[in-house]
Amino acid sequence: TCCQLKHNHPSMQKYRYVYFFITLAVYVLIICSNSIIIYLILIHQNLHEPMYIFIAALLLNSILYSTNIYPKLLIDFLSEKQIISHSFCHFQYFTFYTLGSSEFLLLSAMAYDRYVSICKPLKYPTIMTKKTVSVFLALAWLVPAAQIAGSTMLSAKRKVCNFTLSGIFSGILILNERVCKFTLPSIFCNNSVHKLHCVKSQAITICGVFLLINLTLCPVVFILYTYSRIFIITYRSSPEVRKKAAQTCLPHLLVLVCFSFLLTYNVVIVRLEADMPKTVFLIMTLQLVLYHPLFNPIIYGLKMTEIYRHLKNLLSSNNMHIP
């Protein structure tokens, strides 16, 4: 079973080499920028604290998130016929939503870490132990994987019908020697694959709502509640405490707002089948895999004082070795 995809956007084939080199440059930049911050956290002992470990995990998640999309996208830009197997399409779907959900759970763990650090500083060493951090990291990846797997299996078993939709990718789906023309309204396999099913599945819809609430809304509510408690307590404290809270909490909130906006677009607009121009759809979809993976290392590299200090020293030492 395979899907043969053909770009339906008129400028795709005409400017495919331009798109390829731009996409390649962005992907390399994402890998390098995130990897540098992870490297700094690993090699510096004073960064081996729960807050920085969670940041490293978040940046690693961004690398995996991008790698799920960019290599296949680069191949598609250079190919006359864009081909993806039915099973790999659902693997990409599974990985995309698993890593997206892990982002919210990692941000939840970071919010809890900041809450304990600022509001219960005397208990911090006994609460945020290495074991606790390890459990949080494991749950952040395993819980979404287990839950998204159910939705993926439901989608993969659904029958695909012979109809065409308006979107960015169009092509042919070959199922048991039966040819089905279709259009996949996205640049990668996300919940748009549900539009190819013959009959809308109530089970998939219910499962999707459950996952949205459990893996997105609940973590966001927890994060907002945690930070509201932090800001209430710090407002009554000294200016030094307020400054510390702002330096460590605001970057997390910026990342949360950015990612929440993009994921809300992907989940809600696509599922509601909103009618919008293909160029707008393409730009909005690209934001999911462009802005956020670049946004994280910039925010944490520039706004986190200790990371910025080590990053500045690294860049200064490299400049000294240039003849």
Query: pTM for the whole thing?
Result: 0.83
H or E stretch at 20: helix 16-43
Q: What DSSP designation does 263 have?
A: H
CA 144 to chain centre: 13
- Residues with Cβ within 8 Å of 85's Cβ and at least 6 positions away in sequence, in order, are 1, 2, 3
State the 10-residue block means of pLDDT for the chain, 323 residues long.
Answer: 47 74 91 92 89 93 92 83 76 91 92 89 91 95 94 82 45 42 65 75 83 89 89 78 74 78 65 56 68 81 76 70 50
The residue ranges of every structural domain in the chain are 2-318
Question: 3-class SS at 85?
Answer: strand
Is 2-318 assigned to CATH 3.40.190.10? no
CA distance 92 to 188: 8
- What pLDDT sits at residue 8? 47
- Residues with Cβ within 8 Å of 125's Cβ and at least 6 positions away in sequence, in order, are none
- What pLDDT sits at residue 95? 93
Going through 236-316 in order, the beta strands assigned E by DSSP cover none
